[in-house]
Amino acid sequence: MEEFKVQSAKHPVPNSSPMRPHSEHPKDQAAKRLSSASNGTSDGGAGAKTPVEITALEESFRRFAIHGDTRATGRDMNGKNWSKLCKDCGVIDGKSITLTDVDIVFSKVKNKSARTITYSQFKEALAELAGKRFKDKSSEDAAQELYKMIEGKAPVISGVTRAVASPTVSRLTDTTKFTGSHKERFDQTGRGKGKAGRVEVVDKSGYVSGYKHAGSYEKKVTKSPQKPM
């Protein structure tokens, strides 16, 4: 009986393969690699994650690369975001570097049929602009100075909450000029009364409407107890 068990163990059932864990599904592996690339990690040969160092310059590159595009991965940057980066980070000064210079450099470093630039091409473009911006420094020092202007920066979002002041809007929102039932919905400070300003509340106090001395009679007839002599 023991020999039969040993022989059967040496010959596995044909056409059988070990069950693949759910986590090792090809789709899961692809999603895992994509998540690792975005988080700055990569899978090693033994399945371990190896951290990938991301410099402050590359982090700023990714922030501007995904600006305004929900489908962007942060690995390449279009011309619009490249111009915004140069504008928001102060690379464009209007004298040594203009918006035209930025567009020319972008077209120079990108591939002929491409509409975006990679991070390596991004650094080449910065090297081109650094020579124009810092003419009195060497190429390496000029590039480092330009890197410092971009490192840690993010796209500037301006004018989102800016209110438009116009006479028409001011007249429609000025509660002091409201008339009729609309006037009753706000107090003297312009704050809404809520339900009290929309629903007519019946006065059940027993006083005549408009009487200003309500509750004063009880105070007059009520006398304080006299202290004993």
The DSSP result for 42-68, as a single string, is: EE-TTS-EEE----HHHHHHHHHHTTT
Topology classification of domain 56-150: Recoverin; domain 1 (1.10.238)
Average pLDDT (115-142) is 93
* pLDDT tens-digit series, residues 174-188: 777 777 777 777 787
Can you give the three-state secondary structure of 196-220, one letter per residue? HHCCCCCCCCCCCCCCCCCCHHHHH
* pLDDT tens-digit series, residues 3-58: 544 444 455 544 544 554 444 444 454 444 334 444 544 444 444 455 567 899 99
Per-domain residue ranges of the chain? 56-150
Residue 120's nearest CA partner among 109, 104, 108, 136 is 109
For β-strands 76-78 and 49-51, DSSP reports them as unpaired
Q: Which helix (H) or strand (E) holds 116?
A: strand 116-118
How many other CB atoms are found less than 10 A from the CB of residue 82? 23
107/98 Cα distance (integer angstroms):
15
Q: Crossing angle, helix 79-88 and helix 119-133, to 10 degrees?
A: 40
CB–CB of 93/134 below 8 Å?
Answer: no
The answer, as to whether pTM is greater than 0.75, is: no
